[in-house]
């Protein structure tokens, strides 16, 4: 009996996971931006030998700080996790991979778990309890409204008593 979760349970699961992951990213962003500050974060990146340390440290700080907030809200989720996966791959390659798997030894364990969670959000989205979902619903209702209005206009146009053969959407009839 291995069944998928019901949609409401799945959405609650995505919400909880998004809050936890968003909180972790935001905390790391605060650490880099406010607690350590940009200058100290840059120095740490430079000391670890991360290429383009000034640009890399700024990118990581902004992605974690702003991305963490956006993830908490479920806004631009796939963009945020896509950008942060780049951060996690860089962290694994330049810092953690040479230390093995275990986080206590500086390994890639935490980086791997975060990236795996982000792949889940990239695949399934933020869930129903998110700004992404609200925007999608609004967009769908707007498209449906436009489609309904277009169909109604077409019906009205096609029954117009003043319509001529050349007077229709798409222009004159094809001669070929």
Per-residue pLDDT at 145: 65
Nearest to 25 by CA among 88, 78, 76, 79: 88
Per-residue pLDDT at 2: 81
Percent of the chain at pLDDT > 70 equals: 81
Per-residue pLDDT at 152: 62
Q: CA-CA distance, 125 to 127, in Å (whole number)? A: 6
Do 29 and 66 meet the contact criterion of CB atoms below 8 Å apart? yes
Domain ranges for the chain: 7-129, 130-160
What is the b/e burial string over 60-78, where b = at least 16 CB atoms within 10 angstroms of the residue's CB? bbebbbbbbebbbbbbbbe
Per-residue pLDDT at 4: 83
Q: CA-CA distance, 123 to 121, in Å (whole number)? A: 5
Q: CA-CA distance, 14 to 27, in Å (whole number)? A: 19
Mean pLDDT of the chain: 87
State the pLDDT confidence band at 78, using cuts at 50, 70 and 90. Answer: very high
**Overall average pLDDT of the 155-172 stretch:** 49
Q: CA-CA distance, 130 to 160, in Å (whole number)? A: 45
């Amino acid at each position: 009996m291995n069944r998928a979760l019901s949609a409401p349970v799945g959405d609650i699961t995505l919400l909880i996971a998004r809050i936890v992951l968003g909180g972790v990213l935001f905390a790391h962003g605060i650490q880099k931006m406010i607690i350590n500050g940009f200058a100290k974060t840059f120095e740490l990146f430079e000391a670890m030998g991360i290429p383009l340390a000034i640009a890399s440290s700024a990118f990581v700080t902004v992605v974690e700080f702003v991305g963490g907030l956006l993830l908490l809200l479920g806004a631009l989720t796939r963009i945020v996790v896509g950008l942060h996966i780049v951060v996690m791959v860089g962290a694994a390659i330049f810092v953690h991979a040479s230390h093995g798997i275990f986080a206590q030894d500086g390994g890639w364990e935490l980086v791997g778990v975060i990236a795996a969670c982000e792949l889940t959000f990239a695949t399934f989205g933020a869930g129903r309890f998110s700004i992404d979902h609200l925007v999608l619903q609004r967009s769908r209702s707007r498209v449906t409204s436009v489609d309904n209005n277009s169909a109604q206009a077409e019906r009205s146009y096609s029954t117009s008593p003043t319509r001529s053969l050349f007077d229709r959407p798409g222009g004159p009839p094809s001669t070929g």
